[in-house]
Amino acid sequence: MNALRERYGEEIVQVLAKYPADQKRSAVMPLLYIAQREHGYVTREQLDQIGEILGISSTDVASIVGFYTLYHDEPAGKYRIQVCNDLPCALRGADEFLESLCQRLQVKPGETTADGLVTVEAVMCLAACHRAPMFQVQSRTEISYHEDQTVDSAMLLVQGWRQENGK
């Protein structure tokens, strides 16, 4: 039984159709995004399931998860606030922004809030250098950009999530 194929069969067929029939391996990245919708990270079982669909080993699939930063192999908050503090953003105050945001949420970069909802991460350049401080939010289903931010505007977003999720 392949839970991914059962649940997302039609979508997986559409993804595979983008690539030549003998090059199914190309679909490994889109399939990992689909898998991550379930728990916010890729489970061991899902590695096997994707490997089976594409005819590659689970180890091959795991190597992709390990190489690319937007795939995760451990649980974290439902929302990952990924703050860019690379050079251009840092010149516009991103380091101070990250530090204050962490203080307000009572976490260190890489940690998850006590309610389990928000993980704060420092990440590399997000191509929005002119609108720093900025971050992206990676949830299970999507990635959204939030630019020209203050700690207050970020906290408003967090409060909205807390209400939505009854925390």
Partner 1 sequence: MNDILLRHREIANLDQLPFYRQQKGFEAFQRAVTSMQPDEVTEIVKASGLRGRGGAGFPTGMKWSFIDKKNWPHYVTANADESEPGTFKDREIMESNPFQFLEGVMLCAYAIGANAAYIYLRGEFWQLAAELDNHIEYLERENLLGEKLFGTEYDLRLYTHLGAGAYICGEETALLESLEGKLGQPRLRPPFPPSFGLYGKPTVVNNVETLTNVPLIVERGAEWFRTFGTEKSPGTKVFSLCGNVEKPGNYELPLGTTFRELIYTHGGGIPGGRKIKAIMPAGASSSLIVADDKALDTPMDYESVPSVGAMLGSASVIVIDESVSMDWLVNKTMHFFQHESCGKCTPCREGTYWMRHLTERIHRGGANWNDVILLNEVATSIKGKCLCALGDFSTEAVTSSIERFRSDFEAKTQPAPLDLAAKVNA
Binding site for partner 1 (CB under 8 A): 18, 20, 23, 25-30, 32-33, 54, 56, 63-64, 67-71, 86-88, 90-92, 123-131, 136, 142-145
In the complex, minimum distance from the CB of residue 114 to partner 1, in angstroms, rounded to a whole number: 27
In the complex, minimum distance from the CB of residue 23 to partner 1, in angstroms, rounded to a whole number: 6
Contact of 90 with 142, CB cutoff 8 Å: no
Which residue, 24 or 104, is less far from partner 1 as judged by CB? 24
Which residue, 20 or 166, is less far from partner 1 as judged by CB? 20
* Residue in 28, 63, 62, 66 with CA at minimum distance from that of residue 45: 62
Which residue, 66 or 116, is less far from partner 1 as judged by CB? 66
Whole-number Å distance between alpha carbons of 48 and 57: 7
Q: In what order do the strands lie in the sheet with 79-84?
A: 118-123, 79-84, 135-138, 143-146
Residue located via tokens 């945001």: 101
Whole-number Å distance between alpha carbons of 112 and 41: 14
In the complex, minimum distance from the CB of residue 127 to partner 1, in angstroms, rounded to a whole number: 5
Which residue, 90 or 155, is less far from partner 1 as judged by CB? 90
